Structure 1
Amino acid sequence: MRCAVLGDPVAHSLSPVLHRAAYDATGLDWRYDALRVAAGGLEGLVAGLGEEWRGLSVTMPLKREALDVAAEASPVAELAGAANTLVRGTAGWSADNTDVPGAVAALRERLPSPPVVATILGGGATAASTALALCELGAGSLTLLVRSPARAAETLAAIDAHRARPAVRVGSLETDDVVGDLVVSTIPAEAQSPGLVARCAGVPALFDVVYDPWPTPLVAAAGDRPLVTGLDLLVHQAALQFSLFTGLAAPLAEMRAAGEAALGRSR
């Protein structure tokens, strides 16, 4: 059986490390690769895959595109408006989103209590998934700080469709205050300006979805505040993918250890 992570860029992805570690730990003779697929190329790639292909991990810029190539989608993928997982079944490919439950698991693992008020930096597909995770944990107020309000439209629609219906405000990434129990950064490290880092200093907990380069400016300034990392998210969402692809329980500890070793660090 074969699986792969698809995206552009994709050479930096830790997904092959995590999934291969899971195969080794469970004795599966499966193959997992990284394939560069540009925006607009997912449908053609998927159509050409042979019967040996079982699962695909989908990263940027293909997460919203993945819904269009699937015969069916899970409720969470439909809610998020994006899929990071494609699983081949007897009826074709089905789309799922393990980013949302993966973020829920990562937040529960690292934070002393669920956040009630949070600020999310960015408005793309990952922002939508983390916002929905916060909804699942009971957050009642979310602020999205973005460069362009139009970029957050799909994320706002996803939050509005969640049964929790938290209060939501959209503000400027460049100027607005960062408030709440938690700040979630879904923006690249190079976009974390000194001014933005300073505005985040008063928030008591940080979730930065980036895992490389490390530490990001926000993480470097976090001090001893509770911290949820991109590796935490990656490991939990990959473990859920592994189970969807194989039908087996994921060896979470082995996957985490492989990711830490690949990045040359530990918690």
Structure 2
Amino acid sequence: MKKDRSITTTTQLCAVIGNPVAHSLSPAIHNAAFNELGLDFVYVAFRVEALGKALDGMRSLQNFRGMSVTIPHKIEAMKFVDEIAEVDRAIGSINTIINENGKLVGLGTDGPGALKSLVDAGVKLAGKNILMLGAGGAARAIAFTLAQKAHPGKIVLLDVNETLLNGLVSDLKTGTETMIASGALNATVLQQAMPEADVIINCTPIGMHPHEGVSLVPVELYRAGQVVFDVVYTPLETKLLADARSRGLVTVSGVEMFINQAVMQFERFTGAEAPVEVMRRVVMEKLNS
């Protein structure tokens, strides 16, 4: 670890914006990485309500290089940036903004971060049936990324919110060539969907602190050979993952997606290769403390 850096007139500013942001791990992760590489960057957290004004400020501040965008601003932020990649426009949300000399470029790293987590775990996705629980923001990012880049056989989406579910299904059918199916997220439909699922991805907050000990999937529904991925990372091993592991299944924790998306943001902010193990260590220390 390098010595602490000095803040100067050339220091580049990065920040996470959201409401709330008090418990964000992002400042600790990014500052540790800046420090490790000796980069003239600093990362802070801002609670933001007036999003448009915040992004006007970013545009006008020459040293304001990058921004991580979290709840509740991921969708609205799209209205205030100058350029968005087509895949992120289809997803309908962004979590990263880069200030390129006053031009704000928006993009998403959640979907690519999730895909990398699965690939790194040795999960084969081509031609596989993917069952996704939830159709909110995380599900949109992951579903579009998998549909466009992983070539699955089919994606099945389940959610209790019919409007949200139908919107995502429609967008996926319009924006991708992957076979898409959907249904209500209830015990009956889940029991019907589980036998043919090769990969199960929980994109709901079920199982997240402070509601540990809850899983959407009864343990008896698992079958040999399935992979279970939970985007929740507090706790590090949710009941969903613990149950799947007890059945000998491959499991992927949401902390992998969180680290991957932060690494991708860091590299867009700085143009440098991220010190991944430093970032991972900081995340684990914070989550285990």
TM-superposed deviation, 1:157? 4.0
Separation in structure 2 between the aligned mates of residue 201 and residue 2 of structure 1, nearest angstrom: 48
Farther off after superposition, 8-17 or 179-188? 8-17
Separation in structure 2 between the aligned mates of residue 207 and residue 111 of structure 1, nearest angstrom: 13
SS in 1 for 2:268: helix
Alignment RMSD: 2.2
Cα displacement string for residues 45-83 of structure 1 (whole angstroms, at most 9, x for unaligned residues) = 212333221111112221111211101112221121111
TM-superposed deviation, 1:193? 8.2
Larger RCO: Structure 1 or Structure 2 (Cα < 8 Å, ≥ 6 residues apart)? 1
Separation in structure 1 between the aligned mates of residue 35 and residue 115 of structure 2, nearest angstrom: 26
C-alpha contact (below 8 Å) 1:132/1:158 kept by paired residues: no
CA distance 1:211–1:194, shift in 2 (3 Å): closer
Report matched runs for 1:93-104 at 5 Å: 93-104=104-115
CA distance 1:134–1:99, shift in 2 (3 Å): same
TM-superposed deviation, 1:91? 4.4
Aligned partner of 1:70 in structure 2 is 81
Which of the residues 11, 15, 19 maps onto 1:8? 19
Aligned partner of 2:66 in structure 1 is 55
SS in 2 for 1:4: strand
C-alpha contact (below 8 Å) 2:227/2:251 kept by paired residues: yes
Structure 2, unaligned stretches of length 5 or more? 1-11
SS in 1 for 2:146: helix
Equivalent residues, number: 262
Structure 1 position 251 matched with structure 2 position 268: no
Aligned partner of 1:127 in structure 2 is 139
Which of the residues 36, 48, 54 maps onto 1:45? 54
Aligned partner of 1:211 in structure 2 is 233
Aligned partner of 1:187 in structure 2 is 204
TM-superposed deviation, 1:23? 0.6
SS in 1 for 2:54: helix
CA distance 1:148–1:262, shift in 2 (3 Å): same
Structure 1 runs (4+) deviating above 4 angstroms are 190-195
Q: Which amino acid aligns with 2:100?
A: G
Cα displacement string for residues 199-236 of structure 1 (whole angstroms, at most 9, x for unaligned residues) = 78415211111112343221232224212221100111
Aligned partner of 1:147 in structure 2 is 160
Cα displacement string for residues 157-216 of structure 1 (whole angstroms, at most 9, x for unaligned residues) = 4422444x2221221112312421111111112588857220784152111111123432
Indicate the percent of aligned positions where both proteins have the same amino acid: 32
